[in-house]
Amino acid sequence: MGSLLLTGIGELVTNDPALGDGSTLGLLTDAALVSEGGRVAWVGPAAAAPTTDAVQDVGGRAVVPGFVDSHSHLVFAGERGPEFVARMAGESYAAGGIRSTVAATRSAPDELLTANVARLVAEMRRQGTTTVEIKSGYGLTTHDEARSLAIAGAFTDETTFLGAHVVPTEYADDPAGYVELVTGPMLDAAAVHARWIDVFCETGAFDADQARAILLAGQARGLRGRLHANQLGPGPGVRLACELGLVAVDHCTHLEDADVAALADSGTVATLLPGVEFSTRSPYPSGRRLIDAGVSVALASDCNPGSCYTSSIPLCIALAVREMGMTPAEALWSATLGGARALDRSDVGRLSPGSRADWAVLDAPSYVHLAYRPGVPLVVETSASLR
Amino acid sequence: MGSLLLTGIGELVTNDPALGDGSTLGLLTDAALVSEGGRVAWVGPAAAAPTTDAVQDVGGRAVVPGFVDSHSHLVFAGERGPEFVARMAGESYAAGGIRSTVAATRSAPDELLTANVARLVAEMRRQGTTTVEIKSGYGLTTHDEARSLAIAGAFTDETTFLGAHVVPTEYADDPAGYVELVTGPMLDAAAVHARWIDVFCETGAFDADQARAILLAGQARGLRGRLHANQLGPGPGVRLACELGLVAVDHCTHLEDADVAALADSGTVATLLPGVEFSTRSPYPSGRRLIDAGVSVALASDCNPGSCYTSSIPLCIALAVREMGMTPAEALWSATLGGARALDRSDVGRLSPGSRADWAVLDAPSYVHLAYRPGVPLVVETSASLR
C-alpha cells in the first residue's frame, strides 16, 4: 500500500493548534491529507497537495480524527433489556445488576464472547471509533478474567483488568478474600493480557482503601491504573485517582469543589460518560465546570449491558453539548484528543504529521453536525485501524 | 416479484392486538411473515409458515413496522449549523430563524432542493422510516411553495402545504395581506400538489384567528388540516385543532389541563417531537400525562434545519422513554401506528394481513433495544417503500 491523498475535505479537524485556523481544533477548510504506511504524512490546503499513489475525493465532506473511546466493557454475554425497561419504569440503577451479566459471561463459551466483542467493535467502527479500550470485569474468577482479557486483546492493545468490578456472589461474605484474589492469583493471570488496571470505587463495589490496594498491586506488576469513581454519589475515588497520579478517572458524575481542584492540580483526565446518565436517567455532570477549572476532559461511551448500552460516540458528543454545557468543539476534542490523553496515547486523537491515519468521514459539511444532527449516523467511512 | 417469506424473526411487532401475545404491540416470537405484491399476506409462528417463492432468514433479529414519520420539513437549502452553535451557547430559539432558510431556499435551483430531499429521505430510510410526511414552508411565495410541494411529491404522497410557516420579510408590515395570499393564489397553486394544509400557530408566527381562516380555506379546497401548536408556550392552537376536528396537532410542548382534556375528547392525535426539545434545550412535554388521559400520541422527527435537524426516529423513541415518561412499547407504538393515525392511514404502522409490507429489521433481539441502545444505528434493513 503506497501513499493516499484524501482530498476535497470541506473541513478538516486536525486537533493541532499549529495547523489551520489556530483554534484548539486546528481547523482547515478545502483541505487535503496524505497517509502513508498507516501514518499521516502531510496535511494542508487541497491546492498544495503533493502527488501520491492514490487519490480519494470526499466531495466537500468534513473529516475528523477517529474517535478514541477510552472506556468500554464489551466482553460479556446475556441480555439485560428487561432490566432497562424496569429502570425506565422507576427502579433505580444499582451496581449489583452487574452480577447477572457475570453469571451469563461465566457460562458462555469463548466463541460467543468473541463474537459479541467483534459485533460491538464493528458497530463502533461504523460510528467513527478507531481506538477502543476494553475492560474485563464480568468474569470475576481468575480463569474468566484472564480469558476475557485474552479475547479483548484480539481487538485492541488498550486492555484493562477490572477484576475489581464488584465482589462476586460467592465472596459476598468475604470481600477481603476477594481483594486478596484480585491482587494475587487473578492479577498474575490477568497481567500478561492487560495494559491497565481499574477499580469500581463506589458504594456497593469497592471502597477507597480496597481501591488503593488493588491499584498499587497492579502498578507493582507493571499495569497502569485508572478508576471508576463518583458515579452514583460523592466519594473519595476522584481524589484517590489524583493522589496516585492516575492518567484518568472515569464517570465524575458527583463532584465536590475539592474534587475539581484535585483534578486541575493533578492533570488527571476526567472522563465523562454521558450515555450512562442518559440510560440511568441520572443528573448529568457539568463538563463546563471542569473545563473552566482547567481540567482535561475526555468523552467515552462506557458501552456495557447494564448502565449504558450505547456504542455511539456521536451520541455522547450530542449529549455533552445538550446536557453538559460543552461546545461542539470541546465535545469533539474530548472524544478524540481527550480520549487519547486518557489512554496516554500521543499517536491518536489527532490528524497531523506523524499521527496514525485514523479518520472518520462525515456526511456533513462540518463537525458541528455531530451535535446538530443527534442520532443520525453521519459517519460514512472510517479508516480501518481497529483490528 | 412473487411471495417472500421473512423468517427467523426473534420478535415480531405487529401492532395488532389480535395477534401474538395480546398486548397492544401484538408481539410474536419465533415468527415469520409473508409479503406478496407489497402487502403482508400472512404472519404467524415460523414453524407454521406457508410455502413461498423466496425466503429470507433474519437470524433471530427483531422486526418492527417501518416508522411512520408524520412531521418533517425536508425541502430547503442553506446551512444553520452556526445558529445551532449560538443557541447551545445560550441564545434562545425563535421562529424568525426560519427566514434565513427561506432566503436560501428561494435562491436554490430545483435540482439542489431535490437532491437535498433525496439525501434526507435516504437517510431516513436507512434508519427505519418507511412513510414520511413532507411539508413546504421555506418558499413562502406562490411559486416557491408550489415547487417545494412538487419536489416533495416525488418522494411521498403525504405532502403538506405550509405557506403559513412564518410571515415572510416582504410582508412584515402586512401580515393580513400575507394571509390573503396564502388563502388565495398560493393555495390555488399548492392545492394540486398537497394532501394536507398546516399552520404554525404560535407567537411570532400566526394567531388562532389567522390559523382558523387558513385551515378553513384549505379544507374548502379539499386539503385536510393539521397544526403546529403550543411549541414555544401555552396558546390556543391545540384547542383550535380539537375544535376543528383535525387529525393531528403537533409539538404540544406546553399544555394546560384544558388542552389535554380537549385532545382526549376530540380524538385528535397529539404528535410529540422530542428532537425539538433536545435541539433547542427546551423542557420536554410529558407523554405519560397524555397517554394516561387517553390521548393518542404520535412521535415524529420534525426534521428541519432550524429547531431539530435529526432524521432519527430511533433517537425520538429513546428520548420519549428517557424524557417523556413513555415505556419502550408506547414509544414504538407512537412512532409506528401512532404516526399512521396522525396521517389517517390504515395501511401502514402495522404488520398484519392487508397492511403494506413496510418493515425494519433490527440488529437486536427486541424492539426494546431502540431505547436501550440510544444512538446506535440498529436498523440493518428496511423494506423499500419510500419512493
Residue A387 confidence (pLDDT) above 80: no
| A270, burial (CB in 10 Å: exposed 0-12, middle 13-18, buried 19+) | buried
DSSP assignment, residue A46?
A: G
Beta strands in chain A (DSSP E): 4-13, 27-36, 39-45, 54-57, 62-65, 67-69, 129-132, 134-135, 159-164, 196-201, 224-229, 248-251, 269-272, 297-299, 359-362, 379-382
* B88 vs A309, A311, A321: nearest CB: A321
Q: What is the mean pLDDT of residues A13-28?
A: 95
Residue A362: pLDDT band (50, 70, 90) is very high
Q: What is the mean pLDDT of residues B165-194?
A: 97
Chain A residue numbers touching B375 (CB-CB < 8 A): 127, 275, 310, 312, 314-316, 318, 374-375
- The residue whose grid cell reads 388565495 is B184
Q: What is the mean pLDDT of residues B260-280?
A: 98
- Cα A303 from Cα A241, distance rounded (Å): 22
Q: Do A371 and B312 touch (CB under 8 A)?
A: no
> pTM for the full model?
0.98
- Cα B185 from Cα B177, distance rounded (Å): 12
Residue B1: pLDDT band (50, 70, 90) is low
Q: Does residue A64 come out as left (phi exceeding 0), alpha (psi in the -120 to 50 range) or beta? A: beta
Chain A residue numbers touching B89 (CB-CB < 8 A): 327
**Are the C-beta atoms of B292 and B242 separated by less than 8 Å?**
no
- List the single residue in B with minimal CA-CA distance to A316: B375
Q: Do A322 and B376 touch (CB under 8 A)?
A: no
Residue B175: alpha-carbon gap to chain centroid? 28
Residue B352: alpha-carbon gap to chain centroid? 21
**Are the C-beta atoms of B316 and B300 separated by less than 8 Å?**
yes
Residue A248 pLDDT: 98
Q: Do B275 and A373 touch (CB under 8 A)?
A: no
To probe the interface with A, which of B29, B116, B373 has the most A CB atoms within 10 Å? B373
For residue A322, the distance in angstroms to the closest alpha carbon of chain B comes to 6
Q: Which of B259, B361, B335 lies closest to B15 in space, CA to CA? A: B335
For residue A335, the distance in angstroms to the closest alpha carbon of chain B comes to 15
Q: Which of B61, B26, B9 lies closest to B350 in space, CA to CA? A: B26
Q: What is the mean pLDDT of residues A354-376?
A: 98
Q: Do B376 and A314 touch (CB under 8 A)?
A: no
For residue B161, the distance in angstroms to the closest alpha carbon of chain A comes to 25
Q: Do B88 and A368 touch (CB under 8 A)?
A: no
Residue B96 confidence (pLDDT) above 70: no
- List the single residue in B with minimal CA-CA distance to A86: B327
Residue range A80-91, pLDDT digits in tens: 999 999 999 998
Beta strands in chain B (DSSP E): 4-13, 27-36, 39-45, 54-57, 62-65, 67-69, 129-132, 134-135, 159-164, 196-201, 224-229, 248-251, 269-272, 297-299, 359-362, 379-382
Residue B91 confidence (pLDDT) above 90: no
Residue B387 confidence (pLDDT) above 60: no
Residue B326 confidence (pLDDT) above 90: yes
Residue B385 pLDDT: 63
C-alpha cell belonging to residue B82: 452556526
Q: What element of type H or E holds B112? A: helix B110-126
* B373 vs A309, A369, A374: nearest CB: A309
Pairing of strands A248-251, A27-36: unpaired
Residue B146 confidence (pLDDT) above 80: yes
Question: Considering chain B, what percentage of its residues have pLDDT values greater than 90?
Answer: 94
Residue A95 confidence (pLDDT) above 80: no
Q: Which of A293, A288, A300 lies closest to A260 in space, CA to CA? A: A293
Residue A384 confidence (pLDDT) above 80: no
Chain B residue numbers touching A123 (CB-CB < 8 A): 363, 376
Q: Which residues 6+ apart lie within 8 Å of A248 measured at CB?
A: A70, A226, A227, A241, A268, A269, A270, A271, A298, A341, A342, A343
Chain A residue numbers touching B292 (CB-CB < 8 A): none
Q: Do B310 and A279 touch (CB under 8 A)?
A: no
* B310 vs A310, A368, A376: nearest CB: A376
Residue A1: pLDDT band (50, 70, 90) is low
Pairing of strands A62-65, A359-362: antiparallel
Alpha helices (H) along A127-228: 142-153, 175-183, 185-191, 208-220
C-alpha cell belonging to residue B385: 417503500
* A327 vs B88, B127, B363: nearest CB: B88
How many beta-carbon contacts under 8 Å exist across A and B?
113
Residue range B65-87, pLDDT digits in tens: 999 999 999 999 999 999 999 99
- List the single residue in A with minimal CA-CA distance to B277: A322
- Cα B322 from Cα A197, distance rounded (Å): 33
Q: What is the mean pLDDT of residues A211-221?
A: 98
Report the mean per-residue pLDDT for chain B. Answer: 96
Residue B129: pLDDT band (50, 70, 90) is very high
* A310 vs B278, B327, B376: nearest CB: B376
Q: In this predicted complex, what is the ipTM?
A: 0.97
Q: Which of A266, A200, A191 lies closest to A224 in space, CA to CA? A: A191
Q: What is the mean pLDDT of residues A335-345?
A: 98
Q: Do B368 and A328 touch (CB under 8 A)?
A: no
C-alpha cell belonging to residue A185: 492469583
Residue A208 confidence (pLDDT) above 60: yes
For residue B12, the distance in angstroms to the closest alpha carbon of chain A comes to 16
| 3-class DSSP assignment, residue B98 | helix
- Cα A386 from Cα A377, distance rounded (Å): 19
Report the mean per-residue pLDDT for chain A. Answer: 96
Residue A383 confidence (pLDDT) above 90: no
Q: What is the mean pLDDT of residues B147-169?
A: 97
Q: Do B312 and A375 touch (CB under 8 A)?
A: yes
Residue A334 pLDDT: 98
Residue range B23-69, pLDDT digits in tens: 999 999 999 999 999 999 999 999 999 999 999 999 999 999 999 99
Residue A96 pLDDT: 65
Residue A385: pLDDT band (50, 70, 90) is low
